[in-house]
Structure 1
Amino acid sequence: MCTTIFLLNIYYRERPTQRHTGYLKHLPTAHTGVSHWIKGDTKRIQRGLSALFTYSNIESLREALRRRFLALERLRWMVLDEADALMDESFTELLEEILRTQVVVVGATFPTGLSETLAKFTDVGRFVTLSTQSLHHLPPHVQQKFVRLKGRDKLPELLQLLKERPSSGGAVLIFCNTASTVNWLGYILDDHKIKHLRLQGQMSAAARAGIFASFQKGDVSVLVCTDLASRGLDTSSVQLVVNYDFPDTLQDYLHRAGRVGRVGSKAPGAVISFVTHRWDVDLVRKIETAARKRTGLPGMDSTFA
């Protein structure tokens, strides 16, 4: 929602006298294909519009540019939402192709090294930084609990947690590190008659949208998911996040924890993490220290932010 408001402010700044003329278009994901988007829409664009807002994933945008269905000669603004994910090495080459204009970088986390990546295609020294005092901080009203146990004990612990949870306890997100674990855990929950939904990246975009809509409406209160659900999933019904698999990074933990205790929630909520590996202990200590001292998570401050 914050990104949408920011986009509207950009539009009104660029077109102060025009409040109703414009065009918002979603470029497709890899599942729908650029050719599907093009059909019936290029004529509208070619007629001339006061503003064209396009939101897209990076690969679809590059494909539209390559096939000359879009051009950036008159582009004034480009907004990168979920910036830390887009600045991953796998996207760097695509971004270098596309970004040659004014850049707005938006994200809940700005990891170390972000400025070095941005410097490849823009002048970082000209950036104006706007950030909240809570950047990289855990939500102070959300309880962080760590359960140290052996791997074989994770499933019994989870089943007991779900079966003892009252029906009025709100929705639950259960995070796994891989799609295969999501599917396996789903089969186990089926065997125990625990109603749930599954969400992971191997599903089609349409399937994911339908699953999230059902979860959002409250049809089912348990969602087993990968980190795909840790970004952009905005719902006030979640009161418990369970890290069945402990996340690989502090950034991932912060995004998962951010799914609970959101604005409009009836209860502050909690995050319960199963800790089974020795290499997770260092991250746990950093999280516990940051939560206790109410400081930002370490190692996430970039020179940009």
Structure 2
Amino acid sequence: GALREALRRRFLALERLRWMVLDEADTLMDESFAEPLEEILAHAPLAAGASGPAGPEEARTQVVVVGATFPTGLSQTLEKFTDVAQFLTLGTRSLHRLPPHVQQKFVRLKGRDKLPELLQLLKDHPASSGAVLIFCNSASTVNWMGYILDDHKIKHLRLQGQMSAAARAGIFASFQKGDVSVLVCTDLASRGLDTSSVQLVVNYDFPDTLQDYLHRVGRVGRVGSKAPGAVVSFVTHRWDVDLVRKIETAARKRTGLPGLDSSINKPPPKGG
């Protein structure tokens, strides 16, 4: 948003921009980002698809698109500005696949039993066993859980999108330093953060999509981690069960999670 505003006010020009990196590309295709991204791309002289070779004084922009999941909506957006067919694709065999070295456990329980189960997990996981990420689906749940953990004298940090960017950066820096070993967070913490110290991920709220689940799982077992780590997911709703079945099937067959290369759609209505 800040970049778009600078371009609109002509504080900044991209005619000489040489590199543009679109990191966490699938997130950029979210409805809230797609329009600003298109506007920014329109200001850059993209190299791919340009007519003829660049002249000696002509600067063109090389675009690099990075992500753990690639929806087709990304190509559709880029095609408005450049020739996607000229892109060089570098992928790994593990794209869209669950990390086989990370233990994943699903616990089916009623909503009222989630909190006691979480408190027992934290009791059984001493700080010396590595850091813990507890994922919730909303900022309000993160804040509520913070009060509960305070009541139980469990030292923790909270990270959610309603905080300022400066506050979020400070909180995560403190978590990385090991000052506190428990971080309660939304999906804001599931992408783009170095979590090599994390050994346990708890999905207190089961994620809405397979994309979100894959990114959460990717917080453990990372390069630089001392141990593979584990993921424990609480399954409470019937609409969660379908996702769990797809995850279990993909893990058993060692295949990619289904549908991750398709366009991002809003999650189906819960209970529908």
The interval holding the TM-score normalised by the smaller chain is: 0.7 to 0.9
Which residue is equivalent to 1:89? 31
Provide the C-alpha distance between the structure 2 equivalents of 1:303 and 1:208, rounded to a whole number of angstroms: 29
TM-score for the superposition, normalised by structure 1: 0.76
Write out aligned runs for 1:1-305 (5 A): 60-98=2-40, 101-302=61-262
8 A Cα contact 1:115 1:303, kept in partner: no
Which residues of structure 1 form unaligned runs of 5+?
A: 1-59
Provide the C-alpha distance between the structure 2 equivalents of 1:164 and 1:101, rounded to a whole number of angstroms: 52
Provide the C-alpha distance between the structure 2 equivalents of 1:201 and 1:173, rounded to a whole number of angstroms: 16
**Root mean square deviation of aligned Cα:** 2.6
Provide the C-alpha distance between the structure 1 equivalents of 2:217 and 2:198, rounded to a whole number of angstroms: 11
8 A Cα contact 2:159 2:171, kept in partner: yes
Percent identity of paired positions between Structure 1 and Structure 2: 90
8 A Cα contact 2:127 2:181, kept in partner: no
Provide the C-alpha distance between the structure 1 equivalents of 2:172 and 2:70, rounded to a whole number of angstroms: 26
8 A Cα contact 1:112 1:299, kept in partner: no
Provide the C-alpha distance between the structure 2 equivalents of 1:303 and 1:126, rounded to a whole number of angstroms: 21
- For 1:264, what is the secondary structure of its paired residue? coil
Count how many residue pairs are aligned between Structure 1 and Structure 2. 245
Measure how far apart 1:216 and its partner are.
0.4
Provide the C-alpha distance between the structure 1 equivalents of 2:141 and 2:123, rounded to a whole number of angstroms: 20
Deviation by residue 1:99-138 (Cα, 9 ceiling, x = unmatched): x954221111112433223223322222221111111111
8 A Cα contact 1:115 1:302, kept in partner: no
8 A Cα contact 1:114 1:302, kept in partner: no
Provide the C-alpha distance between the structure 2 equivalents of 1:111 and 1:258, rounded to a whole number of angstroms: 18
8 A Cα contact 2:196 2:220, kept in partner: yes
8 A Cα contact 1:175 1:227, kept in partner: yes
8 A Cα contact 2:29 2:73, kept in partner: no
Deviation by residue 1:163-203 (Cα, 9 ceiling, x = unmatched): 12233211000000000000000100000111110000111
Measure how far apart 1:302 and its partner are.
4.7
Residue 195 to residue 106, structure 1, CA distance change in 2 (3 Å): same
Deviation by residue 1:1-28 (Cα, 9 ceiling, x = unmatched): xxxxxxxxxxxxxxxxxxxxxxxxxxxx
Which residue is equivalent to 1:55? none
What stretches of structure 1 move > 6 A for 4+ residues in a row? Answer: none
TM-score for the superposition, normalised by structure 2: 0.85
